[in-house]
A and B are shown apart, each in its own frame.
Chain A
Amino acid sequence: MSPMKDTPSAPSAQSVRLGIDIGGTFTDLTLIDDATGELAINKSLTTPENPSLAVEEVARAGLEAAGAAAEAVHSVIHGTTLVANSIIERTGDRTALITTKGFRDALEIGREHRYDMYDLFLENPRPLVPRYLRLEVDERILSDGSVLTPLRPEEVEALAAELIENEVGAVAVSLLHSYKNDAHERAVAAVLAEIAPDLRVSLSSDVAAELKEFQRTSTTVCNVYVQGLVDRYLGELERRLRSIGIDAALLVMLSSGGVATVDTGKRYPVRILESGPAGGALAAASLGQRAGHDDLLSFDMGGTTAKLCVVEEGRPLTTPEFEVDRAYRFKKGSGLPVRIPVIDMVEIGAGGGSIARIDPLGLLRVGPQSAGANPGPACYGYGSTEPTVTDADVVLGYVDPASFLGGRMRLDIEAAREAIREHVAEPLGLDVTEAAWGIHQIVNESMASAARVHLTERGKDQRAFPIFAFGGAGPVHAYGVGSLLDSPSVIVPLGAGVGSTLGFLAAPLVFDYVRTSLERLDETDWARANSLLDEMSSEGIAVLESSGVSREEISIERRADLRYVGQGHEVSVPLPDGRLDERALPAIIEAFERVYAELYGRVAPELATEALNWRVALSGPQPPLAGGETGQEGSDSDASPKSRRPVYFNELGGYEDTPVYDRYTLPAGAQLAGPAIVEERESTAVIGPRASIEVDRLGNLTCTYD
């Protein structure tokens, strides 16, 4: 659509990288030419029946708009919601489970826990493998890895024959204690490979070698369930890109914030489940770092939800578990657990479409119910009369009804006022403005609360984290959220430059491994621990080298999940480099106690420490994200408002005649005083009276509180 720089230049050989994300509605592209710094974006409607069509379309158009040749493309980094959608819509292959005798129902019995104490009408998540495809083998390994009942291959042969007969396409193999001893799972795989070579097979010891059968099995099932779909799709995508002359490495975006080869993506599709949101957080991390902020809070507020993510030292924090296909989107425990490293994001039901209502206590509540895009907020004029956050933002003057989405959609402010009057103002005895301000304030408060809990659970102080705001509604609400959190500043990037696809281009090649081996650190068999770590490292080096990364470029981070003996939750602690032995112990314990104290305020030095999981994360070099400079220099004298309008600021006691700036004409170096409104096509930044704004050379608005 709009290259950010108008002067096309001849790209040098193989210097162009493409980031492509298939979302529910749009397929997005970011193009970057490392040689010239040129950056371009493009968008096309997603083609659900054959998603690679839209990819071809968007790639072709993007290259054309940027004046780049297909041959110049060096790599394509790809993310997609396809995998998650396939699980949610249950469109994966007919999948079976092979498990230990007596445990085929572990997948369904789950945690036996009601995730909402008072809701008598809740539903448990439905397993991906129906009960009639959950099969058992009479074998047993114990918690120490020893074999109680040996596996009989004949039994697996009989199973394999029936799997073929019933046209089962995929099988998850998850046997008890396989994280400790994978011999039986491998034996099952060997028999299946011989008798049913076309069957897709995932082993739990390979996909998620961790303690807890329910979570491990669930992860393995998710993986193999979508494997066929992802395999076919990525294969088709490679062919299409080649057909338009792009002969580049195709890489997939992982949920953890790294990228991997297509082969890895096909083998472990469960690792790309959350690739889209990961891209958004990476873009925030990368752009934030370029603007001089290694630590920040990424804040992405869209139409139905707000997503928050902590970025530290230029990297989004990750967590080892998440849930997919939640029955209640924001209720932990209502989805299928997946034990895979994922960018640690909190998502709450707070977006432009969140509906305001009066609860049984007579208090004003906003969200998590959302009016979505259709009927959408009352001001969209599609017939909804329920007041939403966007309606409040229009009434308060934050969003201009005439220039919403670059003027492509005219908003009905009277409909917004009427909805707020009827459903909020009158029941509470307030005027419409007070009610609108209440809606705005409450949605800000719930986002700030979520951020606060998210940060403190990780032992962080929110006052140290600038807010990096994007998404359609992010820049409208960031000033208010930042003020509630006592944030030092709010950064609003140039909207066009921020999307998950830009983040894709900032991600290094990574691969990570985990093995469970419960050991007391003072009794650890270090030779064993070293060989476990070495095994994972060399496996990862091989994978990365085969993806074209040289050995010198690979950085290896080794960590252990440690806890006091007997505890059930671990903290992840970096391990020293080199071979480990008892001499490394004091440093490891010290690192553990440092992290533990940061999280929980106190340590228990009298207790022994144990390791549960051993992790190795390998990564290639982080690609540079050059380019994107506005190229315009100027001073504050160049910044003149395009118009003025009344905007509500509670600090000023009401509506204030406020200058409105055009984002695209603001020169680098411009300085503005709040209150001010800065408009661009997809969003509006609202800056209150207690802050001043500076435009940096990259076009970011940095808003600092007085």
Chain B
Amino acid sequence: MTSDRGTTLDAIGLEVLWNRLISVCNEQAAALIRTSFSTVLRESEDLSAGVFDARGNMIAQSVTGTPGHINSMATSMRHFLRVFPTEELVPADILITNDPWFTSGQLNDLTIVTPVFLGERVVAFFGNTCHAADIGGRGLAADARDVYEEGLAIPIMKLYERGEPNRDLFALIEENVRTPDVILGDIHAQVACNDVGGRRLLEFMDDFGLETIEDVSDQILDRSEAAMRDAFRAMPDGIYENETFSDGFLEDDPIRLACAIEVADDSIVVDFDGTSPESKLGINVVLNYTLAYTTFCFKAAVNPEVPNNEGSFRPVEVRAPPGCILNAQRPAPVAGRHIIGHLVPNLLFGALTKIVPEQVTAEGAAGIWISQMRGFDERGQFTFALFSCGGTGARPNKDGLGNTGFPSGVAGIPAEVVETVSPLILHRREIRQDSGGPGTFRGGVGQTMRVGLLSASDWIVSSQADRVRFPPRGYLGGADGAKGDFWLSDGSHVDPKLQRRLPPEAEIFLSLPGGGGYYPPLERDPDAVLQDVVEGYVSIEAAERDYGVVIRRLKDVEKLIHLPEDYDLDLAATQRLRNERACA
């Protein structure tokens, strides 16, 4: 339009266009969150939304969401375009799939893609991936034996053709899921938000007189790639290895995750060779999802300011032997893929401590615990996914975060909302003392929850919980965080990942892991330990045992309130104790 809009793609014009693209994606995601029906979307924000150029390159995405969705959505576009080449699409077509191998690794994630037309020509795609509360099958549980048990599969197909809904598909979905109103409501929200994005993009192109966004896309992608390569070039060449373990299923062998990160000049090859084979039950990870968390990891640790797009992914190559648990093959069951997938950043950070120890974190609780509960109450059938988070790993310069999701970006759900939309009752949700791994910087604390049912019928429960056998590890002298725990009101510590039917009066208990510590605990500032004792994150006993810090309570332990001045930090005794330990 006017010349002051700067259409020449120099550093300034490009920044202007780039800003607008990001704001278009944020509008898309805002519309999605506000019109959605499931608690998973609206409270937990388990979604991603982004814009792609006409060739299918992801250029930008909203600031909400989780890496597992965002980065695997980027790869999914290739598969959509393979099935429906651009030239076969017409205006008002809308595509859908939940194929785990093409998208984010479980059937519950529905990806919807809408081509945007300028006249007769596709100029962009808007896509989003959302977690559906139910997709039929066994419900979202980790103990299926193949993907067919896990629910309804929707191959890449048209949800709308020339604006006409695919009524057969809608009927099929409605018939196959437990809470069709919520699921269909969310699908409508997914469709509507792509429309919002598309409209805004066309206005934007009109404002700037653009016929395509290819040029912007190429430049942003190339610059992102170059910035990542610069960062890699600054790292010492070499091969850096690490391994970590997941519980898997308690009756089986634990699962080994192994990696070798090869830094060669300006690129990285990550090889997951040595990783355990697929599990017979549903905790397997498709390559797309492994890739998503691998690229996330390098961006967060090495160059967080670089935009997350096709270009920033290019310098990272990922290899995982087919059939290993990080590259599961059809028809492996995959519903609990995040349990293993969320450990990937921990695994890679462990290797990176050898070269960039100031840029990574210790191991944390990693996987969010998704406790799936279903049954009946007077309103009919209910199914509820309770998201909860343990502590994150300590950082090289500060403590880890208590009860905060990492690497996933989802949010928890308030107890009052849980109890309003389901017959569940939360009796307790509190910080777990002594769960943060000791270190110069302490791991984040976990939490303990007690959940019951206010209904007269049986309920079915499982929790996609890990780190019950293997604690989050501390790094560089930091100690491990506390392991998780899952038990029933009859006192039995059962495998959380296996579904079980419980009588209505039964209750479940979840203790989420704390993060690992960073650097040796004997070097922690005694005042910081005192502060932790005052707040109740660390017990007086653990302060002495783990940190060599001697603290006395000056007030009757039966009292309800203990102020900071009700404790005495004995610095002389602390010094003596720490010296002894150091000599030992």
- Kindly supply a per-residue 1/0 record for chain A positions 678-694, scoring 1 wherever the CB is within 8 Å of any chain B CB and 0 otherwise: 00000000001010000
Q: What is the minimal beta-carbon distance from B37 to any residue of chain A, in angstroms?
A: 4
Which residues B163-182 have CB closer than 8 A to chain A? 181-182
Bound CA–CA A248/B192 (angstroms): 54
Bound CA–CA A246/B200 (angstroms): 55
Q: Which one, B28-36, B104-112, B462-470, is touching chain A?
A: B28-36
Bound CA–CA A135/B20 (angstroms): 48
Cβ-defined partner of A120 (8 Å) among B185, B226, B301: B301
Q: What is the minimal beta-carbon distance from A703 to any residue of chain B, in angstroms?
A: 15
Contact indicator B416/A143 (Cβ below 8 Å): yes
Q: In the complex, which residue of chain A has the Cβ closest to the Cβ of B449?
A: A102
Contact indicator B34/A600 (Cβ below 8 Å): yes
Bound CA–CA A480/B5 (angstroms): 10
Contact indicator A360/B395 (Cβ below 8 Å): no
Bound CA–CA A363/B21 (angstroms): 15
Contact indicator B415/A112 (Cβ below 8 Å): no
Cβ-defined partner of A102 (8 Å) among B19, B305, B395, B429: B429
* Chain B residues closer than 8 Å to A456, beta-carbon distance: 27, 196, 200
Bound CA–CA A456/B307 (angstroms): 24
Contact indicator B561/A113 (Cβ below 8 Å): no
Cβ-defined partner of B19 (8 Å) among A430, A449, A569: A449
Contact indicator A102/B562 (Cβ below 8 Å): no
A449 and B23 in contact (CB under 8 A), knowing A143-B419, A568-B36? yes
* Chain B residues closer than 8 Å to A437, beta-carbon distance: 12
Q: What is the minimal beta-carbon distance from B394 to any residue of chain A, in angstroms?
A: 11
Contact indicator B43/A120 (Cβ below 8 Å): no
Q: Which one, A103-111, A236-244, A375-383, is touching chain B?
A: A103-111
Contact indicator A569/B15 (Cβ below 8 Å): no
Contact indicator A690/B185 (Cβ below 8 Å): no
Cβ-defined partner of B16 (8 Å) among A112, A120, A445, A518: A445
A166 located at the interface, meaning its Cβ lies under 8 Å from any Cβ of chain B in the complex: yes
Contact indicator B196/A601 (Cβ below 8 Å): yes
* Chain B residues closer than 8 Å to A142, beta-carbon distance: 419, 425, 454
- Kindly supply a per-residue 1/0 record for chain B positions 526-568, scoring 1 wherever the CB is within 8 Å of any chain A CB and 0 otherwise: 0000000011110000000000000000000001111110000
Q: In the complex, which residue of chain B has the Cβ closest to the Cβ of A133?
A: B561
- Kindly supply a per-residue 1/0 record for chain A positions 117-147, scoring 1 wherever the CB is within 8 Å of any chain B CB and 0 otherwise: 1111111100000111101000000110000
B428 located at the interface, meaning its Cβ lies under 8 Å from any Cβ of chain A in the complex: yes
Contact indicator B417/A212 (Cβ below 8 Å): yes
Which residues A57-109 have CB closer than 8 A to chain B? 96, 101-106, 108-109
Q: What is the minimal beta-carbon distance from A542 to any residue of chain B, in angstroms?
A: 30
A360 and B27 in contact (CB under 8 A), knowing A108-B402, A120-B359, A602-B192? no
Bound CA–CA A112/B395 (angstroms): 18
* Chain A residues closer than 8 Å to B195, beta-carbon distance: 601
Bound CA–CA A670/B463 (angstroms): 73
B306 located at the interface, meaning its Cβ lies under 8 Å from any Cβ of chain A in the complex: yes
Indicate the size class of the contact surface on chain B.
Answer: 35 or more
A365 located at the interface, meaning its Cβ lies under 8 Å from any Cβ of chain B in the complex: yes
B410 located at the interface, meaning its Cβ lies under 8 Å from any Cβ of chain A in the complex: yes
Q: What is the minimal beta-carbon distance from B455 to any residue of chain A, in angstroms?
A: 12
Count A interface residues, CB 8 Å. 87
Contact indicator A159/B19 (Cβ below 8 Å): no
Cβ-defined partner of A158 (8 Å) among B430, B537, B560: B560
* Chain A residues closer than 8 Å to B42, beta-carbon distance: 567-569
Contact indicator A112/B227 (Cβ below 8 Å): no
A483 located at the interface, meaning its Cβ lies under 8 Å from any Cβ of chain B in the complex: yes
Which residues A184-232 have CB closer than 8 A to chain B? 211-215
Contact indicator B561/A114 (Cβ below 8 Å): no
Contact indicator B431/A131 (Cβ below 8 Å): yes
Q: Which residue, B31, B395, B404, B406, has most C-beta atoms of chain A within 10 A?
A: B404
Contact indicator B428/A690 (Cβ below 8 Å): no
* Chain B residues closer than 8 Å to A484, beta-carbon distance: 5
- Kindly supply a per-residue 1/0 record for chain B positions 54-72, scoring 1 wherever the CB is within 8 Å of any chain A CB and 0 otherwise: 0000000001011100000
Bound CA–CA A536/B378 (angstroms): 32
A442 located at the interface, meaning its Cβ lies under 8 Å from any Cβ of chain B in the complex: yes
B127 located at the interface, meaning its Cβ lies under 8 Å from any Cβ of chain A in the complex: no
A527 located at the interface, meaning its Cβ lies under 8 Å from any Cβ of chain B in the complex: no
Q: What is the minimal beta-carbon distance from B367 to any residue of chain A, in angstroms?
A: 13
Which residues B1-43 have CB closer than 8 A to chain A? 2-6, 10-12, 14-16, 18-20, 23, 26-27, 30-31, 33-39, 41-43
A162 and B416 in contact (CB under 8 A), knowing A105-B429, A607-B181? no
A464 located at the interface, meaning its Cβ lies under 8 Å from any Cβ of chain B in the complex: no
Cβ-defined partner of A364 (8 Å) among B11, B67, B430: B11
B283 located at the interface, meaning its Cβ lies under 8 Å from any Cβ of chain A in the complex: no
* Chain B residues closer than 8 Å to A690, beta-carbon distance: 2
B361 located at the interface, meaning its Cβ lies under 8 Å from any Cβ of chain A in the complex: yes
B401 located at the interface, meaning its Cβ lies under 8 Å from any Cβ of chain A in the complex: yes
B162 located at the interface, meaning its Cβ lies under 8 Å from any Cβ of chain A in the complex: no
Q: Which residue, A135, A445, A565, has most C-beta atoms of chain B within 10 A?
A: A445
Q: In the complex, which residue of chain A has the Cβ closest to the Cβ of B231?
A: A360
Cβ-defined partner of A113 (8 Å) among B45, B226, B536: B45
Contact indicator B428/A102 (Cβ below 8 Å): yes
Q: Which residue, B67, B360, B414, has most C-beta atoms of chain A within 10 A?
A: B414
A650 located at the interface, meaning its Cβ lies under 8 Å from any Cβ of chain B in the complex: yes
Contact indicator B412/A109 (Cβ below 8 Å): yes
Contact indicator B405/A113 (Cβ below 8 Å): yes
Cβ-defined partner of A213 (8 Å) among B45, B63, B416: B416
A176 located at the interface, meaning its Cβ lies under 8 Å from any Cβ of chain B in the complex: yes
Cβ-defined partner of B30 (8 Å) among A442, A457, A480: A457
Bound CA–CA A132/B566 (angstroms): 11
Bound CA–CA A142/B454 (angstroms): 10
A651 and B388 in contact (CB under 8 A), knowing A113-B411, A449-B20? no
- Kindly supply a per-residue 1/0 record for chain A positions 353-379, scoring 1 wherever the CB is within 8 Å of any chain B CB and 0 otherwise: 000001111111100000000000000
- Kindly supply a per-residue 1/0 record for chain A positions 142-159, scoring 1 wherever the CB is within 8 Å of any chain B CB and 0 otherwise: 110000100000000011
A452 located at the interface, meaning its Cβ lies under 8 Å from any Cβ of chain B in the complex: yes
B155 located at the interface, meaning its Cβ lies under 8 Å from any Cβ of chain A in the complex: no
- Kindly supply a per-residue 1/0 record for chain B positions 184-223, scoring 1 wherever the CB is within 8 Å of any chain A CB and 0 otherwise: 0100100010011000100000000000000000001001
* Chain A residues closer than 8 Å to B504, beta-carbon distance: none
List, sorted by A's number, 29 A–B pairs whose CB atoms are closer than 8 Å.
Answer: A103-B415, A105-B429, A112-B404, A113-B45, A114-B404, A114-B406, A117-B63, A117-B300, A120-B359, A120-B360, A121-B397, A124-B404, A130-B535, A131-B431, A131-B535, A132-B562, A158-B560, A162-B560, A211-B416, A213-B415, A361-B224, A441-B4, A446-B19, A453-B30, A483-B4, A566-B37, A566-B185, A567-B36, A569-B35
Which residues of A pack against B, CB within 8 Å?
A: 96, 101-106, 108-114, 117-124, 130-133, 135, 142-143, 148, 158-159, 162-163, 165-166, 168, 176-177, 211-215, 358-365, 428, 430, 434, 437-438, 441-442, 445-446, 449-450, 452-453, 456-457, 480, 483-484, 518, 564-569, 599-602, 604, 607, 650-651, 688, 690
A-B CB proximity, top 5 nearest: A568-B42, A102-B428, A112-B412, A113-B411, A438-B12
